[in-house]
């Protein structure tokens, strides 16, 4: 399924269009991600619930750190008070709106993520974004979190289009439809547009070194978004290094 560009940063206002440049540079990767087997299987109803459950648990762990990063950005020095408030609101939205969706799934399954273990690509993604937000400038911090907003909205709208094309020919668990509805929805799109505008605004006064770093962080987070769905598709686990070492010794 090929999904057309569903939001152009040129739609958000008159700021410099750094965000659009980031998106365009990553377009080949995003085109692959929008057709990720995990996402397509959600829409065509073939994704095993076990894989979706795995994803939701890992995403709940991710969102906790993502919300913390948004608050850190909102607390940065010299951030416009309105932008600071919006960043804190977005953090609250990640914790309340998105996590409310997850908690609904958890209630149905009779589980929670309290004692869940973060899997390898979850650790890789969260540790990277936390490092950038905590140690780099505000503009770089904004760039590293942008794919979580924009890529999710983009694939959500691609999935919505595929769902409409398939019509009643397939059946899928209601949880899959709820996920699609959230990330393809108007409220989430408003959040994405606001965040894009912040990135463009931060880029206006950034030097060339910072702009280069913003490109690097955006591309890396796009890769990590894709790998996050790889992880759920494969039900990735941490290797049992000790057991594997023992098995290797037996073979000698």
- Do residues 63 and 92 make contact, with C-beta atoms less than 8 angstroms apart? no
Please identify which residue in the block is written with the tokens 């919505």: 160
Q: Inter-axis angle of helices 208-234 and 49-74, to 10 degrees?
A: 160
225 is catalytic: yes
List 34, 83, 189, 225, catalytic entry: 225
Angle of CA points 26, 28, 31, to nearest 5°: 105
Structure tokens at 128: 């990277």
Catalytic residue chosen out of the listed positions 69, 83, 148, 199 = 148
The label of the residue with tokens 């949880």 reads: 175
Q: Is 96 a catalytic residue?
A: no
199 contacts 146 by C-beta, under 8 angstroms: yes
Closest CA to 15 of 149, 234, 199: 199
- Rounded Cα–Cα distance for residues 41 and 46 (Å): 5
Say which DSSP state 75 is in.
Answer: T
Active site positions, annotated: 148, 225
């Amino acid at each position: 399924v090929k999904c057309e560009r569903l939001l152009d940063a040129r739609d958000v206002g008159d700021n410099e269009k750094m965000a659009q440049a980031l998106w365009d540079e990553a377009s080949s990767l995003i085109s692959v991600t929008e057709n990720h087997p995990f996402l397509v299987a959600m829409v065509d109803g073939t994704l095993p619930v076990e894989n979706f459950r795995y994803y939701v648990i890992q995403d709940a762990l991710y969102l906790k750190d993502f919300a913390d990063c948004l608050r850190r950005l909102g607390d940065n020095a010299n951030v416009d008070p309105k932008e600071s408030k919006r960043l804190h609101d977005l953090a609250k939205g990640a914790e309340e709106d998105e996590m409310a969706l997850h908690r609904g799934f958890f209630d149905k399954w009779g589980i929670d993520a309290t004692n869940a273990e973060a899997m390898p690509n979850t650790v890789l993604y969260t540790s990277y974004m936390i490092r950038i937000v905590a140690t780099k400038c505000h503009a770089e911090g904004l760039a590293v979190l942008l794919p979580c907003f924009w890529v999710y909205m983009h694939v959500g709208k691609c999935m919505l289009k595929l769902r409409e094309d398939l019509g009643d020919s397939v059946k899928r668990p209601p949880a899959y439809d709820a996920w699609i509805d959230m990330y393809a929805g108007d409220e989430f799109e408003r959040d994405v547009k606001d965040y894009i505008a912040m990135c463009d605004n931060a880029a206006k006064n950034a030097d060339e070194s910072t702009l280069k770093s913003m490109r690097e962080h955006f591309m890396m987070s796009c890769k990590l978004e894709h790998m996050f769905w790889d992880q759920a598709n494969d039900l990735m686990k941490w290797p049992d290094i000790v057991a594997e070492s023992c098995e290797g010794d037996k073979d000698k």
